[in-house]
Amino acid sequence: MKISGCVEEIINNKNSLSNILAEEAITQIKKGRVNKPNVVWIEGTGCSGNTISLLNANYPDVIYLLNNMINLKFSNSLMTCDGEKAYEIFLETIKEEFILVVEGAISTRENGLFNVIASYKGKKITALEVVKISGYKAKHVIAVGTCASFGGVSKANPNPSESKSAKEILGRDVINLPGCPCHPDWIIGTLAYLITNDGIELDDEGRPLLFYGFTIHDFCPRRTYFNNRIFAQNVGEPYCMFRLGCRGPVTRTDCPTRRWNSGVNWPIGDNTPCIGCANAYFPDGMEPFIRT
Amino acid sequence: MEDICKLKEDLERILERIKELYSMEFLTLCPLGKEHYKNMIIDSIDQAYLKLEETLNILRQNEGKRELKEFTLEELANFDGRNGKPAYVAVNGTVYDVTLIASWGGGSHFGVLAGKDVTEEYNKCHENENKLSKLEVVGKLKGSNL
Could you report the per-residue pLDDT of A152-183, keeping only the tens digit for each?
999 999 999 999 999 999 999 999 999 999 99
- Return residues 165-204 of A near B (CB < 8 Å): none
- Return residues 225-244 of A near B (CB < 8 Å): 229, 231, 233, 242-244
Percent above pLDDT 70 for chain B: 93
Among B11, B46, B64, give the residue marking a domain's end: B64
* A52 in the same domain as A100: yes
* B104 in the same domain as B59: no
* B76 in the same domain as B54: no
Residue B146 lies in a domain: no
* A34 in the same domain as A151: yes
Closest Cβ–Cβ partner in A247, A281, A291 for B107: A291
Do the Cβ atoms of A237 and A292 come closer than 8 Å? no
Q: What is the mean pLDDT of residues A78-84?
A: 91
Structural domain boundaries, residue B84: 69-141
* A238 in the same domain as A168: no
* B54 in the same domain as B2: yes
Q: pLDDT grade, residue A22 (50/70/90)?
A: confident
* B8 in the same domain as B33: yes
Q: Is the pLDDT of residue A1 over 50?
A: no
* B94 in the same domain as B132: yes
Residue B39 lies in a domain: yes
CATH code, A253:
4.10.480.10
Chain A residue numbers touching B108 (CB-CB < 8 A) = 245, 287-288, 291
Task: For chain A, report the end-to-end CA distance as a whole number of angstroms.
Answer: 42
Q: What is the mean pLDDT of residues A24-38?
A: 90
Chain A residue numbers touching B84 (CB-CB < 8 A) = 231, 233, 243
Structural domain boundaries, residue A253: 222-286
Half-sphere exposure of A239 (CA within 13 A, CB side): 14
* Angstrom distance (rounded) from CA A254 to CA A277: 13
Q: Any chain A CB within 8 A of the CB of B131?
A: no
Contact at CB, B105 and A287, closer than 8 angstroms: no
pLDDT, one tens digit per residue, over B121-137 is: 999 998 888 888 889 89
Taking the alpha carbons of A93, A97, A102, A107 in that order, is the dihedral positive or negative? Answer: positive
Phi, psi of B32 (to 5 degrees): -65, -40
Residue A162 buriedness (CB in 10 A; 0-12 / 13-18 / 19+): middle
User: ipTM score here?
Assistant: 0.79
CATH code, B85:
3.10.120.10
Chain A residue numbers touching B115 (CB-CB < 8 A) = none
* A158 in the same domain as A110: yes
- The whole-angstrom distance between A281's CA and the closest CA on chain B is 7
* A231 in the same domain as A201: no
Q: What is the mean pLDDT of residues A249-265?
A: 92
Residue B7 lies in a domain: yes
Q: Any chain A CB within 8 A of the CB of B100?
A: yes
Chain B residue numbers touching A242 (CB-CB < 8 A) = 100, 105-106
Among A185, A208, A231, give the residue marking a domain's end: A208
Number of domains in chain A: 2
Number of domains in chain B: 2
* A59 in the same domain as A181: yes
Q: What is the mean pLDDT of residues A209-218?
A: 93
Q: Any chain A CB within 8 A of the CB of B33?
A: no
